[in-house]
Structure 1
C-alpha cells in the first residue's frame, strides 16, 4: 500500500473506518505480542476483525471465549456471529446450547432478531435436532 501510488502512500496514512479504535488497539497488541488482554470484553468485535484480517489464531481465541460464556441471553446473538464470520466452532456450540435451552432462549430479544433477520439459522437448529434424535430401535421379529 505504501509502495504503490496510492492515497496512503501520498499521505503516509492509513484510515481504517470499519473498526473502533479500542478494537484496533487490541488487534495491534495481538499482532505484536500474541496476546489479547481484553478479549473477554470485546470477543464479538475482535472475532469480526480477526475474520476480516485473516488472523486465524485470534479468531480461534475469540471463539473459545464466546463459547465459554454462552448464556440464555446471548446464545442467539452468538449463533448469528458464528454464522456471519464462518466461525463453525462458535456456531456449533451455540446451536447445541440453544437446543438444550430452547424454551428460555426463544423468549429473548436475540431470538426475535434471529428469526426476523437470519431465518436460515432456524433450519440449522432444526437439522441439528433431527440429527440428534436417534431412530427407534427396530423390533426383532419372532418367528
Structure 2
C-alpha cells in the first residue's frame, strides 16, 4: 500500500512520462569544526610535554632547551606548521631557535599546546599574548585577552589599547570600544595622553567614530 498515487492530480506537476521527479538545490557544504574536538585536541599530547619520547625537534631559547613534537606544535600553530612543512632550516635541522622570548613564557605556551591549560596567567598574560600573536595560537591568545580585560580601567585603557593594536588583540579593542568609548565618549577623549594616542592610532579611532 502506497501513501500516494503518482496518478493523483495532486502530484501531476512533479511527474514526467509517469516518472516522479525530485528537484533539489545543490550548494556548497560548509565544514564546521567540532567544538569538542578543538577543546580536547591538546589532551592527546599531554603525556609528551617536554618529553623525549617520540620527540623530533628541539626548541632553543638562549641557554634553555625544550624538546617537542612537530605534530603537536603544528596542530596549534600555523607558523610551526609552515616551518615544518617546507624546506626551511628548522625542518631540515630539527631545531628551532627562538629569540626575544622568556623561556618561562614559552613553557606556558608549550603547556597549552600539549595539555590545554596555562599557569601564572595573571602575571604573564601580556608576554604570553605576544608569543601567541607571533605564532598565531589564537585559542590561547583569546584566553590572554579575556584575562587582560579584567584589568582595564580609565587610567590604563590607552596603554592597553596601544598594546592591543600592536599585537592584533581584536577582542580587547572591541571590549574597550563597547564598554568605554561608546558608553562615555566625552570622558574617553578627555583622558590624559589621548592627543598622543590619537596621533599614533588615527586609523583605529577613525573606524570607531564612524560606528558611533
User: Shorter-chain TM-score: what band?
Assistant: 0.5 to 0.7
- In structure 1, the partner of 2:171 is 89
Q: How far is 1:74 from its partner?
A: 2.3
Q: Distance in 1 between matches of 2:207 and 2:89?
A: 44
| Number of equivalent positions | 127
Give 5+ residue unaligned stretches, structure 1.
131-143
TM-score (norm 1): 0.68
SS across alignment from 2:97: coil
TM-score (norm 2): 0.49
Give 5+ residue unaligned stretches, structure 2.
1-82
Mark the CA change 1:56 to 1:108 in structure 2 (over 3 Å): closer, same or farther. same
What's the RMSD between the two structures over aligned residues? 3.0
1:63 correspondence with 2:136: no
Higher share in strand: 2
Aligned partners of 1:39 and 1:65 also within 8 Å:
yes
Mark the CA change 1:5 to 1:84 in structure 2 (over 3 Å): closer, same or farther. closer
1:38 correspondence with 2:120: yes
Q: Distance in 2 between matches of 1:50 and 1:118?
A: 23
Deviations 1:49-75 (A, max 9, x none): 112212121011012112222111221
Aligned partners of 1:75 and 1:94 also within 8 Å:
yes
Q: Which structure has the greater CA radius of gyration?
A: 2
